[in-house]
A and B are shown apart, each in its own frame.
Chain A
Amino acid sequence: MDETVAEFIKRTILKIPMNELTTILKAWDFLSENQLQTVNFRQRKESVVQHLIHLCEEKRASLSDAALLDIICEDVDLFDMKQFKNSFKKILQRALKNVTVSFRETEENAVWIRIAWGTQYTKPNQYKPTYVVYYSQTPYAFMSSSMLRRNTPLLGQALTVASKHHQIVKMDLRSRYLDSLKAIVFKQYNQTFETHNSTTPLQERSLGLDINMDSRIIHENIVEKERVQRITQETFGDYPQPQLEFAQYKLETKFKSGLNGSILAEREEPLRCLIKFSSPHLLEALKSLAPAGIADAPLSPLLTCIPNKRMNYFKIRDK
């Protein structure tokens, strides 16, 4: 074995924490079971490493083998699907005797989990299962809302432990369209690359004017209309918006009005309001408001931040 290869392998192994060493070596699958069994992993790390290098020499490790080990080490999370499934199932079954758990792996490193819930004494209800989609290469999971609240902490715990994370936090983002949620969470909605050297002038593109139209016809407020179009485009972009059905705002803010300063002037308490926007395609609807004259441009950041903040449930208070 080349000295440089040996040195490279040595340095790579030294970087691996001891508790992950056996897992990584197994994943590398270069040294045989028999060989690994001869190694005493309880020794000092240096001794373990030396022994491993010796074994690699015996098997004549090449540069490509070393490179493969390097790649495996880079994948720090080293997601083991089998281990995840076992762990997840065990946690649920230990807590509730009666629970049905099924898995289905799909492409994009996603695993679909179906859980039918029972209790210590009743069989699982197969007609009201909960679905979870976990993207193993990301710290995100998507949960259907069809479940009793009392099972939520247990489900959260099972996911957290099985996926080897510390804690699970609920995001204020809900929708019926999983693809839209993915688009927002993984920031995938901005797919089209904007070209700044467009040949058609901005004015015509956005206002749909015919370039050959009679120049004696002028549009009233054309400057304002252009400004609104430009701002709308800057805010929302040219690409199709992810599909959300609603946004909800819980407001607790004081009433301040330019209309008549005396209204509710002495009142210290805020107005308790709950505002809900609903639409088959909320973001597209919001996008059309300013051009239609129903809203000011720029639209309020409370609305435009929805994809960026990845939230559609908000609580707003006076600062």
Chain B
Amino acid sequence: MDSYNAPESTPSASSRPEDYFIGATPLQKRLESVRKQSSFIPTPPRRKIPQCSQLQEDVDPQKVAFLLHKQWTLYSLTPLYKFSYSNLKEYSRHLNAFIVAEKQKGLAVEVGEDFNIKVIFSTLLGMKGTQRDPEAFLVQILSKSQLPSENREDKVLWTGWFCCIFGDSLLETVSEDFTCLPLFLANGAESNTAIIGTWFQKTFDCYFSPLAINAFNLSWMAAMWTACKMDHYVATTEFLWSVPCSPQSLDISFAIHPEDAKALWDSVHKTPGEVTQEEVDLFMDCLYSHFHRHFKIHLSATRLVRVSTSVASAHTDGKIKILCHKYLIGVLAYLTELAIFQIE
């Protein structure tokens, strides 16, 4: 079983890009030193490349297919107090009543909304990193079909799921009364997310917080997902930067053929099975350098807001879309780590 090593060492000093910028402007030098400072956040300098873990073999691809190719908004969630997996039916009823009450209060008014809804709690088996991780569970709001016919499937209005992948560092710190599922993903109307969040917060004394992803972590994701072995690519590898110029905004999109991105990564990659900080930096610097050669623009002075690969795509606002079933657990593991960091 792939166990996750969280080394306690501080980030190792690596050869910094400022060595490579000949004649860097004062702005660039300042940005480099800020970047250096931001890595005092104790994220590990190396991570395992996502592989297919043993546990994942248990995950039924059919059952999780609905999680793929959807955009999820991310939140971190503090541990739930006195949550029990045997009470899921009860929770469904309570939440259902709560939602109806809230909507009738006029707090969330949607034109043409039909109050015939059904709330379902269910567990997502196999969605974990180690045996210690709590079971992931899913909450769905469905609209009850008006006609009681068997052919009519209830339409899913909103989906949210709670999971914990390799959450050892958090699990060690809490007592038995708490259930740790630090990563929450939501798809559907924002108003529904707010109502459900309120109910959970009241019922389990927990706290949701939107999970933003900064440029540093987006770079790591891009490198790690590029490192994943793929049989075939379904999407181009793409980066999006937002340039802080005024008065007009400027967006720069850099798409590279996934095979070429992989070739570049393979040329940078030295440590088998792992990704290091140096490799991530070098990978990104190669892209910056290729871009600068053509356009004389320093992408490192701009803000990375989105990365997209055949494995998954992530946006700085905390939005994610997972495209590849094979690396689902790997992607969630990284996100769990970010969520845990935000809670602590």
**What residues of chain A have their CB less than 8 Å away from a CB belonging to chain B?**
220-221, 224, 249, 251, 253, 255-260, 262-264, 267, 269, 271-282, 284-286, 288-289, 292-296, 298-300, 302-303, 316
Which one of B250, B252, B296, B301 lies within 8 Å of A293 (CB-CB)?
A: B301
- Chain B residue numbers with a CB within 8 Å of A220 are 26
**Contact indicator A255/B251 (Cβ below 8 Å):** no
How far, in Å, is B268 (CB) from chain A's closest CB? 6
Q: B263-278, CB under 8 A of A: which get 1 and which 0?
A: 1100110000000000
Given contacts A260-B282, A284-B248, contact A275 B25 (CB under 8 A): no
CA distance A184 to B268 in the complex (A): 43
CA distance A293 to B32 in the complex (A): 14
CA distance A278 to B305 in the complex (A): 14
Which one of A272, A273, A289 lies within 8 Å of B245 (CB-CB)?
A: A289
Given contacts A255-B290, A259-B282, contact A271 B264 (CB under 8 A): yes
Top 6 nearest A-B pairs (CB, nearest first) are: A293-B27, A272-B257, A285-B250, A285-B248, A300-B296, A279-B250
Chain B interface: which size bin? 35 or more
B71 contacts partner chain A, Cβ-Cβ < 8 Å: no
Question: Of residues 240 to 264 in B, which have CB atoms within 8 Å of A's CB atoms?
Answer: 243-257, 260, 263-264
Question: Of residues 275 to 291 in B, which have CB atoms within 8 Å of A's CB atoms?
Answer: 282, 285-286, 289-291
B294 contacts partner chain A, Cβ-Cβ < 8 Å: yes
CA distance A278 to B253 in the complex (A): 8
Given contacts A249-B294, A278-B250, contact A264 B267 (CB under 8 A): yes
Give the total number of A-B pairs whose CB atoms are below 8 A apart.
133
Interface of B is mostly: mixed
**Contact indicator B256/A259 (Cβ below 8 Å):** no
B298 contacts partner chain A, Cβ-Cβ < 8 Å: yes
CA distance A50 to B285 in the complex (A): 80
B297 contacts partner chain A, Cβ-Cβ < 8 Å: yes
**Contact indicator A294/B253 (Cβ below 8 Å):** no
Given contacts A255-B290, A258-B20, A285-B248, contact A295 B257 (CB under 8 A): no
Given contacts A220-B26, A300-B295, A316-B294, contact A273 B254 (CB under 8 A): yes
Interchain Cβ contacts under 8 Å between A and B, 19 examples: A220-B26, A224-B25, A253-B290, A257-B293, A258-B289, A264-B263, A267-B263, A273-B256, A274-B254, A275-B255, A277-B250, A278-B253, A279-B251, A284-B247, A285-B250, A292-B27, A294-B27, A294-B243, A299-B296
Given contacts A255-B264, A255-B290, A263-B268, contact A302 B295 (CB under 8 A): yes
B28 contacts partner chain A, Cβ-Cβ < 8 Å: yes
B302 contacts partner chain A, Cβ-Cβ < 8 Å: yes
**Contact indicator B251/A256 (Cβ below 8 Å):** no
Residue in chain A with minimal CB distance to B285? A259
Which one of B243, B260, B296 lies within 8 Å of A272 (CB-CB)?
A: B260
Which one of B236, B255, B298 lies within 8 Å of A294 (CB-CB)?
A: B298
Which one of B248, B289, B296, B301 lies within 8 Å of A281 (CB-CB)?
A: B248
Given contacts A285-B250, A295-B296, contact A271 B289 (CB under 8 A): no
